[in-house]
Chain A
Amino acid sequence: MFTFILKRLGQSVLVMAVVSAISFSLFNFVGDPVNNMVGQDATREQRLEIREALGLDDPITTQYARFMGNALQGEFGLSYRIKQPVDELILARLPATLELVFVSALIALVIGIGLGVYTGIRRKSWVSRTILSTSLIGVSLPTFIIGISLIYIFAVWLRWLPSSGRSGTVELGWWKTSFLTIDGWRSIILPAITLSLFQLTLILRLVRAEMLEVMRTDFIKFARARGLSERAINFTHALRNTLVPVITIIGLNIGGLIAFSVITETVFQWPGTGLMFIQAVDFVDVPIMAAYLVFVALLFVAINLVVDILYMFVDPRIRLGD
């Protein structure tokens, strides 16, 4: 068990190292850093000055070390476009994204797992079949189309909910939350549904597939041969065994949510880190791109690590070794 955790930690460190290396090369090799910072009009002397100030003529290893040192302290320099420190920018917008992802994850997991189990147990009912067909459509709808449609229906046509932006926030210290006002919830609900839909259908189909798979195993057959009730078989045996592989997928799903939040934030103009990232890519604003990459990687690695440890607790074969 101990080696398992160590191995995962080691992998996580490796991932972060690679990501930071990529991040670093972004800085140095995408376009000319100096050009990006000062534009066309700077004179040759000004450029040389800046080069020296940034230490761009030092050997690569020194530059990388400096980069890592700064990165570990959360310092990524100034955004080329906004001219403010990147870490401040990210922190300011982080709560918006995290809250959005949290609500979406809740919706996706609760409804996805619930419906997945239901369709797995009652395979033949017409309700199940309808849900299944609908889920196929759900997987075929790109997130941005869902977003646009929802805006059109609920904001433009019915005028029930706002079409964009994040209103109704309350400041708790540095964190701006949407959860404490009705307005806040009205703003967050459409983006959250949009974001969760794709993952929801994925989880639903996956849980269902796993349940069907489990129902075919020998130990279920043996349980039946012992005369156990359908209820016992479905819940005590089948469900428990289904959830184990599903837990590993949860980590991937949360990762997917963070990724697709970029699109959702764009459609709804939600002021989170994703929207900032897209704008940065548009302008080739390297500091933000690099910092975002590192932050996101850190988040994923952390989530995956937690999921792995959870997995270890749930499956006794890993917990107790062979």
Chain B
Amino acid sequence: MTDLLKISGLSVEFPTRRGNVKAVRNVGLTVSPGEVVGLVGESGAGKSTIGNAVIDLLESPGRVAEGSILFQGEELRGKDENEMRRIRGDRIGMIFQDPQTSLNPLMTIGDQLVETLEKTSGLRGQKAEARAIDLIESVGITEAKARLKAYPHQFSGGMRQRVVIALALAGDPELIIADEPTTALDVSIQAQILDLIKALCRERQVGVIIVTHDIGVIANIADRVCVMYRGEVVETGPVAQILGNPQHEYTKSLIAAVPRADVKLHRFNSVDYIEGGDDVRRRIDIQTHWLGAARTANASGNAIEVQDLNLAFTLQKAILKKNRKMLRAVDNVSFNVRQGETFGLVGESGSGKSTVARLIAGLYTPDLGVIRINGQDVSTAPRDPQAIEARRALQMIFQDPYSSLNARMRVLDIVAEPIRFYKLTSSESETRTIVGDLLDHVGLGAQAAIRYPHEFSGGQRQRISIARALASRPRILICDEPTSALDVSVQATILNLLKDLQQELGLTMLFISHDLPVIRQMCDRIAVMKSGQICEIAETQALFETPQHAYSKHLLDLMPRMDLLRPVEAA
């Protein structure tokens, strides 16, 4: 089988005013017809850059410094723009991550398809339209003829990505580069799109490069895998081998950091390969430290009680009541969280799990229902001083490390804010010492205090958020998808940190995520949510082994099959 694509010795650099940044270094990879090659790595690994380089759409000022890209025997490097334009769409197709922004909002789907067909196959008029209908149907969209007249915003996310795939296929290319094609989609839709890509690949004997950070996706559809780290390929091989028996240290660390869904571990295996991934924490002595003073010896009762919680959002305002569209974000939700336990809320986007968290944190007011924190009712009369006092025991950690810190404040001020506001210390120097201790304890080091957020990576910023949350000496911690925006290896270290803190400080945690394996690793009991309602509440092991509700079963089925991974001892 001749190689469809053969890249050797590829280096891509970006000249910046601080010098040449080599995004890709001496990379080689091959793709055969009908084969799916996965290009996996964490952020900054350079995987997207390779795709852009093949099709010559590098963002300026990037350029290919050296190496060769052979496509069906032809050298692509050195071709001018006209030649590349003929190749793009006709012989090599590309799919991007976000279907919402990939389509021109002002043109109908039909027009965009016909336009592409005219360029690639020279078809016009009726013939072009007929072919467009074929394409749409082949990607699984029904009522194709009517759909052609629709605009992108009238489709859902998954449908839009199907349209994008149709557009990429319009020219009948021999190679498709898919750059994070399912990252922006819900878990259930992800599976469908991946199946579609795999089917099309086999049917048409098309070579596919799938660029992703998600090992689950790789396990799902790739035949061979290239693992990238910091611009270099560290390991290549068949999927079974890479996942089951990785050789390179980085690959081993990466695989080890993936949360397992089959067994709950005491802690994630630490990912040593990545710099700064180690937990070098100067531990503070919780017994004597200020931080530990918040621990109550024996707390009784439930930490959080939620009863018949309801919240609806107005989607469309109208003068007449019957025309108003409401969305029931939270629909009669009730559950309890016991002292010291970690309670998980899992569901897809739109399930209402984040809304429930925000209701409990006081960011939204419920329409109906009662919320009690440590026995105190906080929702009926939120301005009541007792309610405010009870709320102080609760803090929250958010999902996006890039927007959860005020970019204009120093880390010291960010973490010290609650201490200063509630006057929890008697002097400014005491505050600074405590902030230093907190930063040490979360693994950042006290000297981080004088820096600004933008000087830190995503994982480090989450540590700052955790330090800030701890500064109020809370007893309850709500974690809203705290690691969803982080690389897999960093996720492991942050989750370890949260586990450790919970043990040391006796915290109660409400953990929200869409990622079932993560939930399994973190939680004692779990509630599954869908469309604002709770489907099932169960102990972790029970839920994963014998789910009761149909939706829970559905979610569990969607989890990527990681049986290829090595078996590991249970905790």
Contact = CB atoms under 8 A, between A and B. Distances in A.
B104 A237 contact: yes
A317 to B, nearest CB: 5
A320 B152 CA distance: 11
B102 A226 contact: no
Contacts of B532: none
Contact of B104 (A219, A227, A314): A219
Contacts of A47: none
A217 B170 contact: no
A240 B170 CA distance: 23
Interface stretch (B81-89, B190-198, B330-338, B552-560): B81-89
A219 B88 contact: no
A40 interface: no
B101 A219 contact: yes
Nearest to A314: B106
Contact of A228 (B55, B105, B106, B115): B115
Nearest to B153: A317
A236 interface: yes
A222 B102 contact: yes
Nearest to B116: A226
Nearest to A237: B104
A219 B102 CA distance: 4
B318 interface: yes
Given A222-B102, A315-B106, A317-B105, A228 B119 contact: yes
A222 B119 contact: no
A227 B87 contact: yes
Interface in A220-274: 221-229, 232, 236-237, 240-241, 244
B239 interface: no
B164 interface: yes
B89 A227 contact: yes
Given A218-B101, A244-B106, A227 B151 contact: no
How would you classify the secondary structure of chain A's contact residues: helix, strand, loop or mixed?
helix
B502 interface: no
A228 B102 contact: no
A237 B170 CA distance: 18
A39 interface: no
Interface string B84-114: 0111111001101010011111110000000
A59 interface: no
Contacts of B106: 240-241, 244, 314-316
Contacts of B90: 227
Contact of A322 (B96, B153, B318): B153
Contacts of B105: 219, 241, 316-317
A223 B96 CA distance: 11
A3 interface: yes
B167 interface: yes
B115 A236 contact: yes
Contacts of A228: 85, 89, 115-116, 119
Interface string B180-217: 00000000000000000000000000000000000000
